């Protein structure tokens, strides 16, 4: 269930960042502090964007940062930073994001169930509205509790 | 049976999400298919009938015609419309 993964300690709202790299660092930092990934995982998430472009914008304005699955990830994990102001992939096609997930995987598909649940919650328009408009954390956690 | 591959940069997140979206869409269209998810590095040379990926990767598949690009990777409706168009254009539906 998403509510067992996106717990209070890995969801942050009203996050102030200046650019997409800082957004990735903020979301990844939550996973580092929760003891789910090593610090170097954050670099891997940023390198993935630098290598392939911001293809991980799963839904417009919603970025799903992820890095190489390797020993930097201790277990499959997810965090969410809702941004106070949007940031832009200005070194690419200037796509805007208003929130950043950080997703860690240990291999190619053992996190299948988690991803299925991520897909479900991202289909909830209320949830997208909340995370792309910096709604209060209580409101966002309330929706997460249903998944 | 139609073989579909969903592709993203690393083959762990976005491609898996697209796999589920495509699976729902193809079910609704009533077309039987097998779907695998791969990363950009290993997808070349994998046998398949259709590739589904994101708009960001258009430049990577310029020389291929059997590619459908998604804007919203969890939007089954968008996937269904684009897949339906592709299947009809290729007399597969």
Hey, where are the domains in chain A? 2-144
Contacting residues of A for B57, CB less than 8 Å apart: 52-53, 55
**Structure tokens of B41?**
């590095």
- Residue B36: which of B54, B55, B22 has the closest Cα? B22
Residue B75 belongs to domain spanning? 2-89
Label residue B30 left, alpha or beta by phi (over 0 means left) and psi (-120 to 50 means alpha): left
| Residue in chain A lying closest to B7 (CA) | A55
Residue pair A99/A80 in contact by the 8 Å Cβ criterion: yes
The shortest CB-CB distance from A59 to any of B16, B56, B74 is to B74
Residue A99 has pLDDT above 90, yes or no: yes
Please check whether residue B73 touches A, CB under 8 A: yes
**Where is average pLDDT lowest: A48-52, A97-101, A112-116, A134-138?**
A112-116
pLDDT at A141: 98
Residue A93 has pLDDT above 90, yes or no: no
pLDDT at B77: 97
What contacts B41, CB < 8 A, 6 or more positions away? none
Please check whether residue B41 touches A, CB under 8 A: no
**Average pLDDT for A95-109:** 95
Residue B61 has pLDDT above 90, yes or no: yes
Going across the sheet that includes A57-59, the strands are A11-15, A77-88, A96-104, A61-66, A57-59
Domain count, chain B: 1
C-alpha dihedral sign at A105, A107, A108, A111: negative
pLDDT at B93: 87
Please check whether residue B7 touches A, CB under 8 A: no
pLDDT at B90: 94
- Give residue A134's pLDDT band: very low, low, confident or very high (50, 70, 90): very high
| 3-class secondary-structure state, position A122 | helix
Long-range contacts of B59-63 (CB under 8 A, 24+ apart): none
**Average pLDDT for A25-52:** 97
Residue pair A30/A10 in contact by the 8 Å Cβ criterion: yes
**Structure tokens of B88?**
């009809």
pLDDT at A37: 97
Please check whether residue B74 touches A, CB under 8 A: yes
**Average pLDDT for A51-80:** 95
Structure confidence by residue, pLDDT tens digits, B28-37: 999 999 999 9
Under CATH, which architecture does the A2-144 domain have? 3-Layer(aba) Sandwich (3.40)
**Average pLDDT for A60-85:** 96
Cβ contact, residue pair B9, A55, below 8 Å: yes
Sort A73 into a burial class: Cβ within 10 Å, 0-12 / 13-18 / 19+: buried
> CA Rg, chain B, in Å?
12
pLDDT at A83: 98
**Structure tokens of A22?**
């800082």
- Give residue A108's pLDDT band: very low, low, confident or very high (50, 70, 90): confident
Residue pair B73/B56 in contact by the 8 Å Cβ criterion: no
Please check whether residue B42 touches A, CB under 8 A: no
Q: Domain of B75: which CATH number?
A: 3.40.50.2300
Q: Enumerate the β-bridge partners of residue B70.
A: B54
pLDDT at A109: 84
The DSSP call for residue A54 is S
Cβ contact, residue pair A123, B13, below 8 Å: no
**Average pLDDT for A13-39:** 98
Per-chain mean pLDDT for chain B? 95
Structure confidence by residue, pLDDT tens digits, B40-53: 999 988 999 999 99
Residue B54 has pLDDT above 90, yes or no: yes
Residue pair A132/A10 in contact by the 8 Å Cβ criterion: no
């Amino acid at each position: 269930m998403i509510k067992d993964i996106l717990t209070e300690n890995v969801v942050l709202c009203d996050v102030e960042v200046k650019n997409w790299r800082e957004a990735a660092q903020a979301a990844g930092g939550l996973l580092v502090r929760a003891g789910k990934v090593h610090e170097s995982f954050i670099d891997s998430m940023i390198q993935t964007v630098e290598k392939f472009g911001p293809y991980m914008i799963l839904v417009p304005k919603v970025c799903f940062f992820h890095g190489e699955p390797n020993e930097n990830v201790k277990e499959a994990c997810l965090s969410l930073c809702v941004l106070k102001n949007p940031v832009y992939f200005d070194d690419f096609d200037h796509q805007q994001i208003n929130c950043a997930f950080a997703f860690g995987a240990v291999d190619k598909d053992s996190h299948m169930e988690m991803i299925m649940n991520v897909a479900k919650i991202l289909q909830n328009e209320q949830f997208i509205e909340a995370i792309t408009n910096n709604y209060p954390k209580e409101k966002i956690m309330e929706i997460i509790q249903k998944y | 049976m139609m073989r579909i591959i969903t592709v993203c940069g690393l083959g762990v997140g976005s491609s898996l999400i697209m796999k589920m979206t495509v699976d729902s869409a193809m079910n609704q269209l009533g077309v039987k298919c097998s779907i695998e998810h791969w990363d950009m590095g290993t997808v070349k040379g994998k046998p398949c009938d259709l590739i589904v990926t994101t708009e960001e990767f258009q430049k990577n598949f310029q020389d291929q015609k059997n590619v459908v690009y998604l804007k919203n990777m969890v939007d089954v409706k968008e996937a269904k419309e684009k897949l339906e168009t592709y299947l009809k254009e290729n007399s597969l539906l």
